[in-house]
Structure 1
Amino acid sequence: MSSPTLQDIADHLGVSKMTVSRALRGEAYVAAALRTRILEAAANLGYRPDPEISKLMTHMRRKRRSQAPRTLAFVWAEKEPQDLGLSAWSRQLISGAKARAETLGFQLDEFHLAGKGMTGRRLSDILEARGIPGFILSPLISRSRGHVSMRWEKFSSVVIGLGYARPALHRVHHHHYLGMMTAMRQLKKLGYRRIGYYGGSVINERMFGAWSASFLAHHPLPLKQAEMLLGLRREPNRSNFLEWLAKVKPDAVIEGGHLVADWLQDMTDSKHLGVVTLGWRADRPQVAGVDQQAEVLGAAAVDLLVAQEQQNERGLPQHPKIVMTEGTWRPGESVRRRGDL
């Protein structure tokens, strides 16, 4: 017996073939109750889409977009427009996202939740009025957990990072556990053993302890000694760092950003200390570390969003996906082989 067609489903329900097609693609033009009836009928009749036809339709939609790019949104959750230019990481992130969107035939417009009078509900209304079907939500920076009240049911969506506690959405983030493991392995290769990690506890909490867990798991010293070299602080500052440094006496320090490198610049007795950052920056190439490749992260977020848009998937996903991107090691003058010190 041949597989039922769209026309068979349409005849069974007494609706048009186009209505069935739109319902199966999840388009908003079909009322929710009717869509439910069509989906149930398709399942009961054993309908299965032809993958070759689906492939052809995806190609045709892409071709139409290349002629008139469809707009997607990149929503900055916390940063004001004037603050974005101060962060090299943010510039890389949006640059990679926009480049990937253009390659796939889309235009990516930026919006700001931190703007005066802006709320998630108001922004949702703006996006819907402009016919924007989906958006990417930037990572949280200032806090470990957060929530944004968008009208999720209206859009395809992807969040960057692990900071959003709810709802459960598709997300992409840097493989922080692997990043710390890479830093530890590079330092061990160079002969460092008394390796310390100093950084903020908020960012570590936001990534579910990935940095601290990887630090302890890959440390060359026994666990009890390694724990003594773990310096997590709610509010890291230079004074506290110097106290910690004098107490634990590491031969190398791993940090999340570039604060430690800055604090050590005017200390002549720190030249022997290795410094590695987990957030390598092109404008600070002398500090060795892990380049998180924010542009790759931005591109991955677009890929995940476009996949939903092409399948007309809207609302909260039943099975949220997590996509992780890898960084790469960048050598620098801040570390060297122990025998060369």
Structure 2
Amino acid sequence: MLRLYRKGAEQRAAQLGFRLYDFWLADPEMSSARLRDILLARGIRGLILPPQESFGTKIEFDFSEFTAVTIGYTLEAPKLHRVGNNVFASVQMAYRKLQDRSYRRIALVVDEEVDCRVSRAFSAGYGSMSSNQQGVDTIPAFVCEGFDDKRFGKWYERWLPEVIMGTGPTLEEGVRPWLKRRGETPAIAELNLSEEGVTDSGVDQQLELIGKTAVSLVFSQISHFEYGIPETPLLTLVDGIWRDGERVP
């Protein structure tokens, strides 16, 4: 995922006459003060912060002489301008696409941490659709903290979904092996087709476009001499698009 964010950011930076450089604040030899001095010495005033590993991340850094944009939802503090996929709308779109294919028993499986990383937009988007569709069986989302075979088995046998929407390790390392071991064959819709070689149908979150948009936001701030932590942080959402793969639900 980071590779695609960076690819898009690098392309847009080149279009605007800039270059992209990598700095790692997590480097034990790189303090915030030292990084600030290095950036200013090199004339670097625009910063893009990619998604952090953990939700609720807080960064101590003096942004007063920089413009900055963060990608995704994991950075809690400081409150910077932000760009990310419109996960809520992406899940709704996927749900509608599956309905158009005559599926009625549509389910969501998502890891608790993954859902939290996007402010629970996966489960919220799913809930907004599953609870308000006439003629569609309402199946509660399976939200888990680490995949549990027995708990998933009880849920699956209770609801018998025709198609499962999901993403990440819970889908690849939990759901798929479980279904294969038991010979179950519901369709799968991937909610983040971010890696090359994925053959499922599902949502392309347009990570390259998100990277491009982040650079455009930084460029706009620099052009307007807007430095420091913004009084009113803006959230820019990029809609996902549906992509049919080799395995079409």
Kindly indicate whether residue 140 of structure 2 is the aligned counterpart of residue 229 of structure 1.
yes
Spell out structure 1 runs of 4+ moving beyond 4 A: 237-240
Matches within 5 A, 1:132-151: 132-140=44-52, 142-151=53-62
Q: Structure 1: how far apart are the matches of 2:75 and 2:220?
A: 21
Within the candidate set 38, 47, 50, 1:126 is matched to: 38
Identity of aligned residues (%): 30
Q: Which has the higher contact order (CA 8 A, sep 6+)?
A: 2
Q: What is the letter of the counterpart of residue 279 of structure 1? A: N
Kindly indicate whether residue 8 of structure 2 is the aligned counterpart of residue 101 of structure 1.
no
Within the candidate set 267, 270, 280, 2:193 is matched to: 280
- TM-score normalised according to structure 2 size: 0.88
Q: What is aligned with 2:99?
A: 188
With over 3 angstroms needed to count, the CA separation of the structure-2 counterparts of 1:181 and 1:111, relative to structure 1, is same
| Alignment gaps of 5+ in structure 2 | none
Q: What is the letter of the counterpart of residue 204 of structure 2? A: D
- CA-CA distance at 1:176 after TM superposition: 0.5
Deviations 1:309-332 (A, max 9, x none): 112211111222111111111113
- Answer with 111-120 or 175-184: which moved more: 111-120
The answer to which structure has the higher helix fraction is 1
Q: Structure 1: how far apart are the matches of 2:182 and 2:114?
A: 30
Q: What is aligned with 1:318?
A: 231
Q: Structure 2: how far apart are the matches of 1:258 and 1:280?
A: 13
Residue 173 of structure 1 aligns to a residue whose secondary structure is: strand
Q: What is aligned with 1:114?
A: 26
Within the candidate set 76, 91, 94, 1:165 is matched to: 76
- TM-score normalised according to structure 1 size: 0.66
Q: Structure 1: how far apart are the matches of 2:6 and 2:148?
A: 29
Deviations 1:272-291 (A, max 9, x none): x0101111145334211101
Q: Structure 2: how far apart are the matches of 1:243 and 1:114?
A: 42
Q: What is the letter of the counterpart of residue 229 of structure 1? A: P
Deviations 1:229-256 (A, max 9, x none): 3111122355654443234321111102
Cα RMSD between the aligned structures? Answer: 2.3
Q: Structure 2: how far apart are the matches of 1:166 and 1:233?
A: 27
Matches within 5 A, 1:1-341: 89-140=1-52, 142-219=53-130, 226=138, 228-236=139-147, 240-257=151-168, 259-261=170-172, 263-264=175-176, 266-267=180-181, 269-271=183-185, 273-336=186-249
